[in-house]
Structure 1
């Protein structure tokens, strides 16, 4: 099964040794028999159409889904076309948000502030720890979406749309080293120091990122009518 990855942002310049974000997901989903191809849609590079892959994944980004970028309207149109064509799609962080926006939800820079580092969610009824890095979040979900993950800070942390789209606000592709890098390169002066200190203190806390990876792989592989 070929997974097309729509890259909507890039890592900080000082953290490019891990590659672009498509490579983070290729490593996360390694061992499940997938092949991968990435398109940097944030740079204006789009696939020829939704049939260029068997399933699609939209990455995180430093950009806001509500911002005025030339590539956001065609990305929303791609999402709706893929949904109509019954192509399975996963969205993570910005991907979670842009899918919600494309399907009729609302995204805002959350007045409650930031979530950074190892964060606990109730996911399918079980407490699950995943690394987060966001202030924007879905504040009104699309009517077609159902919630599978949330916490007191982020009501709509995980959404699914029938058996075609599965999206999540935190970052299963981020390990402790990447969060440490974000604290150093993108956090200072932007995220309150108290939150950065708390995230640093939890860097070595175990996460359930590989359990979430198994959920993602199972979602792509499930049989659909």
Structure 2
């Protein structure tokens, strides 16, 4: 029998009660996007790194890839668990493990490679954003993606390639060699999840976000939701391809948002 592939989610945020009740937690949300259609082919394991639960040395050798989630924390901060995560990511990169970073994960991967992150001078980017894919040999193609961040990559490390940008964020997707990719947006989110996050911020009178920004984020969903199948193809092809097979150009059927 062929050995199952093993993947780990490095969860840098807390599961909200809402996401746990409706979706089974963020591990289920990520597996829905990244997992094989045949769930018997692979194993996914959760490591709550934000709470100090890190993979062992054996886990590092037996896993085929890791995903780094978003977080409420800043990738440029020096909390003990963030410094430990940086050390772990440097090890994974040196082992040539596939590592996919989402939002905070995108930023912390940049930092682990020697880049710089910080506040986006344009402020919060929450809601639906269109990202444009860059490729010298092809015309730009675009996809909508859900965003929820106020930090961004300020300086890219040497050896990285920008794959996508947006009007508000210079580095929406980057790749390093064949084993590291960061995505600033949240392809794992749906409209329901991000609207619940916004409502929770408003209900708690959060000082993190202005009410006008929250309302603007809601209004952004007047546009088509992200094409989930196209994002699945992009993310899965990177994480599970034998080589870097990120489709920089997609068919018109694939990029046309619903």
2:163 is matched with 148
- 1:117 paired with 2:127, answer yes
- 1:203 paired with 2:221, answer yes
Go from structure 1 to structure 2 and tell me whether the alpha carbon gap of 1:58 and 1:65 turns closer, same or farther (over 3 Å shift). Answer: same
- 1:186 paired with 2:201, answer yes
SS at match of 1:71: helix
SS at match of 1:86: coil
Once residues 81 and 152 of structure 2 are traced to their aligned partners in structure 1, the CA distance between those partners, rounded to angstroms, is 20
Once residues 96 and 174 of structure 1 are traced to their aligned partners in structure 2, the CA distance between those partners, rounded to angstroms, is 15
Q: Retained in 2: the 8 A contact 1:90–1:167?
A: yes
1:129 is matched with 144
SS at match of 2:145: strand
CA RMSD of aligned residues (A): 1.8
Once residues 228 and 73 of structure 2 are traced to their aligned partners in structure 1, the CA distance between those partners, rounded to angstroms, is 23
1:24 is matched with 29
Once residues 177 and 24 of structure 1 are traced to their aligned partners in structure 2, the CA distance between those partners, rounded to angstroms, is 12
Aligned counterpart for 1:4 among listed residues 8, 24, 39: 8
Given the two structures, how large is their TM-score scaled by the length of structure 2?
0.81
Once residues 12 and 207 of structure 1 are traced to their aligned partners in structure 2, the CA distance between those partners, rounded to angstroms, is 23
Aligned counterpart for 2:51 among listed residues 35, 43, 48: 43
1:67 Cα shift? 1.8
Which of the pair has more CA radius of gyration? 2
Q: Retained in 2: the 8 A contact 1:172–1:210?
A: no
Q: Retained in 1: the 8 A contact 2:191–2:225?
A: no
Q: Retained in 2: the 8 A contact 1:91–1:167?
A: yes
Once residues 212 and 151 of structure 1 are traced to their aligned partners in structure 2, the CA distance between those partners, rounded to angstroms, is 16
1:85 is matched with 95
**What are the ranges of 5 or more consecutive residues in structure 1 without an aligned counterpart?**
none
Q: Retained in 2: the 8 A contact 1:22–1:59?
A: no
**What are the ranges of 5 or more consecutive residues in structure 2 without an aligned counterpart?**
135-139, 245-258
Once residues 80 and 170 of structure 2 are traced to their aligned partners in structure 1, the CA distance between those partners, rounded to angstroms, is 29
1:9 Cα shift? 0.7
Q: Retained in 2: the 8 A contact 1:100–1:141?
A: yes
The Cα offsets for residues 39-61 of structure 1, whole Å up to 9 and x where unpaired, read as 00000010102214111100000
After the TM superposition, list the runs of 4 or more consecutive aligned residues in structure 1 that deviate by more than 6 angstroms: none
SS at match of 2:226: coil
SS at match of 1:83: helix
